[in-house]
Structure formats: C-alpha cells, structure tokens
C-alpha cells in the first residue's frame, strides 16, 4: 500500500513560470486552494516559457534500458531500434509502481537532470481508480490514495519547469465504462487543482478525433475543470494524423475557453490503421517538439512509449512490456 503523504506546504515559496507566489497550506491529499493568479499564469504562459530549451530526454528510459539489454543479448537489430527511440524525448509515466519515497525520487531525479540540461520534462499520471475500465491496463489506486499520490507529485514539481499529462483515457472512458461517472470527475478536478496550486501546467484527457465529437469531449473537460489546467491532450497511444487531430482539438479548444493542447505523435507516422492495439503497419511519427505557439497547439509529443505493448493483441506481450518486433517495425516505417 502506498504511503499517505502528509503535505503541509504552508509559507513555502515557489516560482510559477518565473513569478514567485505563496504556496497555500495543503491538507493530506486534499485539493489545495487555487488562486486566479495561479491559473492565469498557467493559461497565459508562452510555449517558450513552458518548454524552454526543448524537451528532456530521460537517460534511463524504458527504451534506453531495453537497448542495453538487447545489445548485451546480441540482438543487434532489436537493440538498434530501441536505441533510436531512446535518443528522443518520451514522456515519463508515473503509476502505482511509484509511491511514497520512490515517487518523490523518480520525479526529483528527472527534474534535476532536465534542469541541468536546460530542458523540460513531461510526466504522465496513470494511477486513477478503475484505470482502463478493467482492460489491458487495468489497475489504479484507491480514491483516498489517489489524492495524496497526486499531491506528492505536485509538491515535488512545485517551483520547477515541467508539464503533466493527467490520466490518458480517463475522461473518454466515462462515456463507455459504467460506474465511473461522478467520482471520476471529482478526482480529476482535485488533481487539476493540486497541480494548478503548485504552478504546474497540466493537461487533461481530450480523447481523439475518432472517439467523441468535439462538443461532447468539451463537455467532459469542462466538468473536470479544464479551466484551471493548461488544457488537454489528444491521440495518446493512438495513430491519427496531426491534421485531423488539430482540426478536432481546435474545435474542443474553442468550447473550453481557449484551452491549449498537445498531440501524441509517437506512432502516427502512417495514420489510422483500423485498430488501436499494437496496430500492424504503424510507424513512428515526427520527432517530438514544442511548437512556435501561434495557435492552441503547444507541442507534438511522444506520450505513448514507442515499443511498449498495448496488450496481448496482434502478437504483443502484456500491456507495458517491451515488444521488440513492434519497435523494429515502428522505426522501419517511421515518418
């Protein structure tokens, strides 16, 4: 069981996008007080200030570890594909496998390395109760644990440049998974408030252009208090092309008060291929990078780890395990 964080951050000071603000006192796991100044700073920040120096490459990423292991095993082709992926910035996934001190450690280590390199790390939270609605990635923390877990992340990131993508599929699945409605929105709203109070730009689940209509997705985002976040993300672990996703995301943005957005391009080099699960024929998308910030699009990211299996489908191992043959194909068919 993860340790409960007893966070009391009263009278501390942090830098929010270059502006010092006072940190409110925070009860254990509770949503801290979010001020208009916090939200305004997060919403109005330039892309250059959010993603200054470009995106951070994690030196001990899943792909980097696999590249070393595969090379040691003499699997040169598989190792080369993993090494290619490892050289590019991929989001760092945080789930129930990191709790308490281990959660603080992994966040602190990557933030320190990113700051030394002058880069911005991207984190993904993936621990919400009833995660993946019992699918290949089923799991998650309890509701009580979840608030404290998010507060650990928010408190650790406070004062540092980083962005957080909050719970892929968590909003879209409220339309298909019985029993996760009102409680799911309350948990996501709490998470948004926790990150906003710490000055951390957060993005909520925005589904993708093949899933829900823009008005329906915008309604879900508004229920989850997207107005206190930087915005939303789309296409995570999916394959849809950037043009279609931008058209969709621009419409969602217009219905959510001008929320900014990021798009996952990790595996969309060949576009939609008829299935979301280890889709045959997929290729890496363009290299991840921040945009010029002239529209609502903040960045094109690799959120899903290319080479990590979606689940036991199309020949893949369990969800999250390295799928070497698939990684090879993604690199061979890259955009």
Would you give per-residue pLDDT tens digits along the chain (335 residues)?
232 222 222 222 222 233 222 222 233 455 566 667 778 889 999 999 999 999 999 999 999 999 999 999 999 999 999 999 999 999 999 999 999 999 999 999 999 999 999 999 999 999 999 999 989 999 999 999 999 999 999 999 999 999 999 999 999 999 999 888 789 999 999 999 999 999 999 999 999 999 999 999 999 999 999 999 999 999 999 999 999 999 999 999 999 999 999 999 999 999 999 999 999 999 999 999 999 888 999 999 999 999 999 999 999 999 999 999 999 999 999 99
Phi, psi (5° rounding) for residue 122? -115, 125
- Residue 16 zone, left/alpha/beta (φ > 0; ψ -120 to 50; rest): beta
pLDDT at 176: 93
pTM given for the model: 0.90
Task: Give the closest residue to 104 by CA, choosing from 73, 58, 150, 139.
Answer: 150
Helix (H) or strand (E) holding 102: helix 100-117
Please tell me the predicted confidence (pLDDT) of residue 58.
Answer: 98
pLDDT of residue 33: 67
Rg (C-alpha) for the chain, rounded Å, is 19
| pLDDT, position 30 | 57
Q: Using CA atoms, how far apart are residues 283 and 25, in angstroms rounded to an integer?
A: 47
pLDDT at residue 35 in the model: 65
CATH class, domain 13-332, is alpha beta
Kindly list the distances between the CA atom of residue 171 and the CA atoms of 4, 106, 298, in Å, as whole numbers in the listed order. 26, 26, 21
- pLDDT of amino acid 152: 98
Taking the domains of the chain in order of start, what are their residue ranges? 13-332
CA 88/CA 136 separation, integer angstroms? 26
- pLDDT for res 295: 92
pLDDT score recorded for residue 29: 55
Catalytic residues: 132, 169, 310
Q: What is the pLDDT of residue 194?
A: 97
């Amino acid at each position: 069981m993860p340790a409960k964080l007893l966070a009391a951050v009263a009278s501390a000071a942090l830098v929010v996008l270059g502006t010092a603000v006072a940190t409110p006192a925070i009860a254990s796991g509770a949503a801290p007080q979010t001020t208009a100044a916090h939200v305004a700073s997060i919403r109005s920040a330039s892309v250059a200030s959010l993603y200054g120096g470009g995106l951070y490459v994690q030196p001990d990423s899943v792909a980097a570890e696999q590249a070393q292991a595969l090379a040691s095993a003499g699997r040169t082709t598989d190792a080369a594909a993993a090494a290619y992926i490892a050289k590019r910035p991929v989001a760092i996934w945080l789930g129930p496998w990191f709790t308490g001190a281990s959660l603080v450690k992994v966040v602190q280590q990557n933030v320190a390395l990113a700051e030394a390199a002058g880069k911005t790390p991207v984190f993904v939270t993936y621990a919400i109760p009833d995660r993946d609605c019992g699918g290949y990635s089923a799991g998650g923390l309890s509701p009580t644990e979840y608030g404290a877990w998010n507060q650990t992340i928010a408190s650790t990131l406070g004062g540092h440049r980083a962005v957080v993508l909050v719970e892929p599929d968590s909003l879209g699945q409220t339309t298909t998974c019985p029993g996760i409605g009102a409680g799911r929105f309350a948990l996501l709203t709490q998470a948004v408030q926790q990150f906003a109070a710490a000055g951390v730009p957060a993005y909520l689940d925005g589904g993708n252009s093949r899933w829900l209509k823009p008005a329906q997705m915008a309604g879900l985002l508004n229920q989850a208090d997207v107005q206190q976040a930087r915005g939303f993300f789309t296409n995570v672990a999916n394959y849809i092309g950037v043009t279609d996703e931008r058209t969709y995301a621009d419409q969602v943005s217009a219905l959510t008060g001008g929320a900014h957005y990021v798009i996952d391009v990790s595996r969309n080099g060949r576009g939609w291929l008829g299935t979301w699960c280890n889709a045959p024929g997929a290729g890496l998308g363009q290299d991840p990078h921040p945009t010029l910030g002239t529209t609502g699009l903040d960045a094109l990211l690799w959120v899903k780890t290319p080479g990590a299996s979606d689940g036991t489908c199309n020949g893949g191992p369990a969800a999250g395990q390295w799928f070497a043959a698939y990684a090879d194909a993604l690199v061979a068919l890259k955009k």
